[in-house]
Structure 1
Amino acid sequence: MSTEQPILQMKKIHKRFPGVKALSDVDLRLFPGEVHALMGENGAGKSTLIKVLTGVYSIDEGIVEMEGRPLAVLSPLESQAAGISTVYQEVNLCPNLTVAENIFIGREPRRFGRILWKEMNRRAAELLRERLNLQIDVTLPLHMYSVAVQQLVAIARALNVSAKVLILDEPTSSLDKNEVQQLFRIMGKLKQDGLAILFVTHFLDQMYEISDRVTILRGGEFVGEYMAAELPRLDLVLKMIGKELHLLEELPSLNEDYKNSRGEELVKAEGLGRKGSIDPFDLTIHRGEVVGLAGLLGSGRTEAARLFFGADKPDTGTLILAGGHEGVHSPREAIGRRIAFCSENRKTEGIIGDLTVRENIILALQAKQGVFRTISRKRQEEMAEEYIRMLNINPPSPEHLIKNLSGGNQQKVLLARWLLTEPQLFILDEPTRGIDIGAKAEIQKLVLSLSRQGMSFLFISSELEEVLRVSDRIAVLRDHRKVKEISGKDMNQQQIMQAIAGG
């Protein structure tokens, strides 16, 4: 671990938005040859601090120093030129361009002004193979690959820039365990090379595994900087959330009395499948039941969910709803049948950033009612305020632009949007991805409460503990196939892992 002076230092940083103090008196020091974790609840100010550092937002008060000299970063390009490279949580590459073009965009190898396409493709493939152990066709458009691969391409692009500081904003949120370990090996090598790495994460195990130092924010304020090895886990959590952990500890017992108590069949998939997405499968969801989907990334969980919502059309099998109705042929029809779908890609398939919290909340209900039955402004405000209180959305202003909210609060707005339509079946695809412990507990508690009131859920999560905590029954998927259903006393991590592994 380095004992040098910090390579980058932020002092007394303040940042305000209309009606919101996003950062207040925040400090950050990054040392060469260290992984420095940045932790805190959603809304703590982590993303805002990164955007201030990288020139996306201007600083209202405070100073930034790079190698002991004042640094004024007015744009992301200036940040990159100063040696600060960033990989954001939501992959912000160009899905229509090839993998190679995304890695080298703005830095393409040229001769006499012309791009050397073969050279660029060769160097991109070599970079991915040697640094990330990833062998893919770099000439294909990025959108043809999974979110996990897209995340690795974003990291490869950052590694391809000569940087002194590397910022990784939730880089592991879409990676499986093997990919996480591969990334950590890369981070370890970069540490040895003297790079300062800022690692933003919600995963406690990962923080302790890879980090040397940690800075904690809460409510936009600086809580403290600590050596990771000297900070007990319970202290870390309490400093992050400022409240006890009984919220999470109570959840299993809250659901215990309701496990295996099934209502009537609400929806039933018989031989439902789509070529290239998921093999034909059977799955029944009863009223008031939470059915979890477990499996590794790429196992077919999202693909199955999209068939239930009509976002993709099956080419085999049928979907039978209560009352004998067969098939859901479009998301519009699904909404009419009281089926809601909260996508894992909230940035591209969820929020509309330039609209307010109020406007985002009422979108699905307005679409359900049609253009000729406009919801009055007064009623919109009443509904928005009701769900802001119910879900503890922060800041609690209906007129705040949703793009200025943290990821966790954006997710709560999407939950409010769909809850307003009073669905019978609510499909939640990674509803707590990238969300802190406190917000995660609130969402899990909400799922359990609504299921007791008769709402059914199809619940997808990469975290097995979370699936076990909220589910009455779990369907396990592997390689785009449903391989097992688990319920009752068999619902434990060992059974799920064996099914996923094929044991």
Structure 2
Amino acid sequence: MTKPAMDSAAATPLVEASGIVKRYGPTVALQDGHLTVLPGESHALVGRNGAGKSTLVTILTGLQAPDAGTVLFDGEPAPPLGDRDAWRRKVACVYQKPTVVPELTVAENLFINRQPEGRGGFISWRRLRTQAAELLDTWDVHVDPDARTAELKVEDRQMVEIARALSFGARFIVLDEPTAQLDNREIERLFTRMRALQESGVTFLFISHHLQEVYEVCQTVTVLRDARWITSAPVAELPRGALVAAMAGEVITEQAEAERAVARAEVPADAPVMLDVKGLTGESYADIDLTVRKGEVVGLAGSSGSGKINLAESFAGLHRPTGGTARLGGEQLPFGDVTAALRAGVGCVPRDRHDQGLVFGMSIGDNATMSVLDRLGRYGFVATDSKRRFADELIERLDIHAEGPDQPVSDLSGGNAQKVVMARALASEPRLLVLINPTAGVDVKSKESLLARMDNARQDGTAVLVVSDELDDLRRCDRVLVLFHGRIVAEHEAGFRDHDLVASIEGVGPVRGAGNGATSHNGPAAKEQGDNRG
């Protein structure tokens, strides 16, 4: 953990919010918001979904005014709400959902609406590229200015957004769930860049549901609960149990955690094989052999380049492998056709609920039932009453906190939005449920609820395939298969040691099926990954 850049006793707060109140009609979104961020620190803002974090961020970034309370930057009042240029010089937010224009280049995104002019008032493309290269170099962002932004990795896109914010003069950056779509290695690179930027005078407000990240990268933490400020404290002085208690409003003891542990019966050895994969080969994986039995949960783990996500998406019809076979319930699984895969009995929670999981212009009911409309009517007509009843059942089953099926899905918190995606995946009563990063960017309570739905599916006899970088997700699995450079290299039974799984993911764990006396990977693949780490 890095140290604050300045002595807290001597530093004037870079950002100070006091007594913030925000109401939307009868709903109190924030009743008592407080935040004090010192220059050069990484300050965590945590709380369950609905705690008021997003509301506070919209006020800190000038998107809306508080009903009461004050916001100061460097001891001075915040700019008027309509002065967007002044706000850009103070603060910027990098959201989970990209704010860059994907079809434009990096350089064009960095200077959008402020491109340098040449003769005749036309854009000087040479100066644009030169200024972009200088900006990226200043902040040590290793991205080609001419690269199309849509082709960037998530971590590089985030750094481009940070560089753009810094180019306006802002030195206070809000990172909203920046690690939700990153694997462990990408997360570590992001944290390394954050530390370097801190040393250059940049201050971060770090929002994350992954508490371990708070302890890794932040110096101070502020907790909101039920729209109120609960506490602010140095991270080093706040044990994890106390932090969870502040967020949840309850003390969670080791005994309570043990009582919450899921009772898991072993999958019978004679349970029928639901998914049978042999020699499957695709763009980023090769010679994959795996089985998932009825009522079994199998995890797929690995680094970002392991091929695990591409493999899982292939089963959901998103990709067409170049070789091998996959049979679901004894029948050939269709590839490259999402609708055909759905008809074959595959339900899927995709990796990104924003771009792949939800239609934000539609209601909760529309989103939850779109995979089963053929069951809710005949001859292309959908019975409204049937659709509403079915949607109500899904809302109750998934414990989605909403006004009803007609509420726009865009109104929901991240955890409830993810529950809608899960509801749609379960609506078709799939024989195979594919979950890709199912708990990314959700709070502790929503995470437990989503994992409980996975357990229920298992108990109902559904075969479940889980792709995740979260150890909490993988611990619920009967087996975890580890991919390394597109091949399965290790298998861990339930009850695995975290260290052993992480070692396999990093390419230094025991070979699959090698037993207790297994040797570590020490061939070219392991050397390549080791070189990348260095």
Calculate the TM-score normalised by the size of structure 2. Answer: 0.84
Residues paired across the two proteins, number: 499
Aligned-partner Cα distance in 2 for 1:183–1:328: 35
Query: Secondary structure, in 3 states, of the residue corresponding to 2:458?
Result: helix
Which of 460, 464, 478 is equivalent to 1:472?
A: 478
- Aligned pairs for 1:95-114 within 5 A: 95-112=102-119, 113-114=121-122
Query: Secondary structure, in 3 states, of the residue corresponding to 1:26?
Result: strand
Q: Tell whether the 8 Å contact from 1:262 to 1:286 is kept in structure 2 after alignment.
A: no
**Kindly tell me: are residues 462 and 125 of structure 1, through their superposed partners in 2, closer, same or farther at Cα, counting changes over 3 Å?**
farther
Match of 2:288 in 1: 281
Query: Secondary structure, in 3 states, of the residue corresponding to 1:318?
Result: strand
Aligned-partner Cα distance in 2 for 1:14–1:439: 25
Query: Secondary structure, in 3 states, of the residue corresponding to 1:434?
Result: coil
**Kindly tell me: are residues 370 and 378 of structure 1, through their superposed partners in 2, closer, same or farther at Cα, counting changes over 3 Å?**
closer
Match of 2:516 in 1: none
1:497 aligns with 2:503: yes
Query: Secondary structure, in 3 states, of the residue corresponding to 1:32?
Result: coil
Aligned-partner Cα distance in 1 for 2:481–2:357: 25
Q: Deviations over 1:165-216 (max 9, x none)?
A: 2111122333344443443344334444444321111222221233232211
Q: Which runs of 4+ in 1 moved over 6 A?
A: none
- Aligned pairs for 1:295-310 within 5 A: 295-310=302-317
Which amino acid is the alignment partner of residue 489 of structure 2?
A: V
Aligned-partner Cα distance in 2 for 1:114–1:353: 37
Q: Deviations over 1:12-46 (max 9, x none)?
A: 32333466432222222222232221001122221
Which of 459, 462, 465 is equivalent to 2:469?
A: 462
Identity within the alignment, %: 33
Which of 264, 268, 288 is equivalent to 2:272?
A: 264
Query: Secondary structure, in 3 states, of the residue corresponding to 1:470?
Result: coil
Match of 2:263 in 1: 254
Q: Deviations over 1:296-338 (max 9, x none)?
A: 1232111111110111122222221214334344111111122
Of 260-269 and 245-254, deviating more is: 245-254
**Kindly tell me: are residues 482 and 357 of structure 1, through their superposed partners in 2, closer, same or farther at Cα, counting changes over 3 Å?**
same
Match of 1:377 in 2: 384
Which amino acid is the alignment partner of residue 276 of structure 2?
A: K
Which amino acid is the alignment partner of residue 173 of structure 1?
A: A
Match of 2:401 in 1: 394
**Kindly tell me: are residues 156 and 456 of structure 1, through their superposed partners in 2, closer, same or farther at Cα, counting changes over 3 Å?**
farther
1:485 aligns with 2:494: no
Aligned-partner Cα distance in 2 for 1:482–1:130: 41
Q: Deviations over 1:216-252 (max 9, x none)?
A: 1123222222232222211110111224547764565
**Kindly tell me: are residues 128 and 7 of structure 1, through their superposed partners in 2, closer, same or farther at Cα, counting changes over 3 Å?**
closer
Aligned-partner Cα distance in 2 for 1:250–1:95: 47
**1:495 Cα offset (Å):** 4.5
Of 425-434 and 227-236, deviating more is: 227-236
Query: RMSD value over aligned CA atoms?
Result: 2.9
**1:151 Cα offset (Å):** 2.9
Match of 2:41 in 1: 34
**1:49 Cα offset (Å):** 1.9
**Kindly tell me: are residues 243 and 426 of structure 1, through their superposed partners in 2, closer, same or farther at Cα, counting changes over 3 Å?**
farther
**Kindly tell me: are residues 288 and 97 of structure 1, through their superposed partners in 2, closer, same or farther at Cα, counting changes over 3 Å?**
same
Where do 5+ consecutive residues of structure 1 fail to align? none
Query: Secondary structure, in 3 states, of the residue corresponding to 1:16?
Result: strand
Q: Deviations over 1:97-141 (max 9, x none)?
A: 22332333334344344434344445545655664563x544232
- Aligned pairs for 1:60-139 within 5 A: 60-72=67-79, 74=81, 77-78=84-85, 80-112=87-119, 113-125=121-133, 128=136, 131-132=139-140, 134=142, 136-139=143-146
1:45 aligns with 2:34: no
Which of 147, 150, 154 is equivalent to 1:143?
A: 150
**1:412 Cα offset (Å):** 0.9
Aligned-partner Cα distance in 2 for 1:212–1:493: 26
Which amino acid is the alignment partner of residue 483 of structure 2?
A: L
**Kindly tell me: are residues 237 and 197 of structure 1, through their superposed partners in 2, closer, same or farther at Cα, counting changes over 3 Å?**
same
Which of 165, 183, 187 is equivalent to 2:172?
A: 165
Q: Tell whether the 8 Å contact from 1:21 to 1:220 is kept in structure 2 after alignment.
A: yes
Q: Tell whether the 8 Å contact from 2:321 to 2:335 is kept in structure 1 after alignment.
A: no
**1:156 Cα offset (Å):** 3.3
Of 148-157 and 473-482, deviating more is: 148-157
Aligned-partner Cα distance in 2 for 1:107–1:260: 64
Q: Tell whether the 8 Å contact from 1:215 to 1:226 is kept in structure 2 after alignment.
A: yes
**Kindly tell me: are residues 76 and 69 of structure 1, through their superposed partners in 2, closer, same or farther at Cα, counting changes over 3 Å?**
closer
Of 213-222 and 478-487, deviating more is: 478-487
**Kindly tell me: are residues 72 and 403 of structure 1, through their superposed partners in 2, closer, same or farther at Cα, counting changes over 3 Å?**
farther
**1:407 Cα offset (Å):** 1.2
Q: Tell whether the 8 Å contact from 2:300 to 2:482 is kept in structure 1 after alignment.
A: yes
Which of 233, 246, 250 is equivalent to 1:226?
A: 233
Query: Secondary structure, in 3 states, of the residue corresponding to 2:98?
Result: coil
Q: Which has the larger radius of gyration?
A: 2
**Kindly tell me: are residues 60 and 376 of structure 1, through their superposed partners in 2, closer, same or farther at Cα, counting changes over 3 Å?**
farther
**Kindly tell me: are residues 142 and 194 of structure 1, through their superposed partners in 2, closer, same or farther at Cα, counting changes over 3 Å?**
closer
Q: Tell whether the 8 Å contact from 1:247 to 1:441 is kept in structure 2 after alignment.
A: no
Match of 1:442 in 2: 449
**1:378 Cα offset (Å):** 3.1
**1:419 Cα offset (Å):** 1.5
Aligned-partner Cα distance in 1 for 2:247–2:101: 34
**1:150 Cα offset (Å):** 2.7
Query: Secondary structure, in 3 states, of the residue corresponding to 1:313?
Result: coil
Q: Deviations over 1:393-423 (max 9, x none)?
A: 2345433322122211110111112222211
Q: Deviations over 1:77-107 (max 9, x none)?
A: 3464341121112222222122332333334
Q: Tell whether the 8 Å contact from 1:267 to 1:319 is kept in structure 2 after alignment.
A: yes
Of 71-80 and 415-424, deviating more is: 71-80
Of 405-414 and 472-481, deviating more is: 472-481
Aligned-partner Cα distance in 2 for 1:182–1:76: 35
Which of 322, 337, 350 is equivalent to 1:315?
A: 322
Which amino acid is the alignment partner of residue 339 of structure 1?
A: V
Q: Tell whether the 8 Å contact from 1:252 to 1:470 is kept in structure 2 after alignment.
A: no
Which amino acid is the alignment partner of residue 32 of structure 2?
A: D
Which amino acid is the alignment partner of residue 486 of structure 2?
A: H
**Kindly tell me: are residues 454 and 142 of structure 1, through their superposed partners in 2, closer, same or farther at Cα, counting changes over 3 Å?**
same
Match of 2:340 in 1: 333
Which of 406, 410, 420 is equivalent to 2:413?
A: 406
Which amino acid is the alignment partner of residue 239 of structure 1?
A: A
Where do 5+ consecutive residues of structure 2 fail to align? 1-6, 509-520, 522-534
Q: Tell whether the 8 Å contact from 2:110 to 2:160 is kept in structure 1 after alignment.
A: yes
Match of 1:201 in 2: 208
Aligned-partner Cα distance in 2 for 1:365–1:36: 44
Aligned-partner Cα distance in 1 for 2:234–2:151: 41
Match of 2:514 in 1: none
